[in-house]
Amino acid sequence: MMSYLLLKLPYFTVVVLTLLGLAAMVFKKNLIKILMGLSLLESAVNLFLIVTGYRTDGVAPIYTNAPSLHMTLPTVQALTLTSIVIGVATSAMMLSFAMVIYKKYGTVNAEKVKKLKG
């Protein structure tokens, strides 16, 4: 029973990270906190990709004389690396947008920026 729970722990972590990220994006008004929620959501997606590609007793597919035929999935690892790079780029861009909004409106509160814009 305990080993079954340990195998399901990464999926539970994915659900918790997803819920925390969505809650931060929906219920927070500070742009920086919204971006932190998006970062949590990206981390949840990356963890989910890694967990789906994991195989018990799997071997990296770079070996030619592998002792078994159980290989890990290299596509999932490549997708995760690509997702990390895209996440860093989009986070940097959105943080720079938040800085520009702060310089123009003097606040990073999303509701106040909406009221000042109109």
Q: How far lies 115's CA from each of 87, 100, 112, 118, in Å?
A: 30, 17, 5, 6
Q: What is the pLDDT of residue 55?
A: 73
Highest CATH level, class, for 2-117: mainly alpha
pTM of full prediction above 0.85: no
Sign of CA dihedral 29, 30, 35, 39: negative
- List the domain boundaries for the chain: 2-117
Give tens-digit pLDDT for 42-91: 999 999 998 888 777 777 777 667 666 777 778 888 899 999 999 999 99
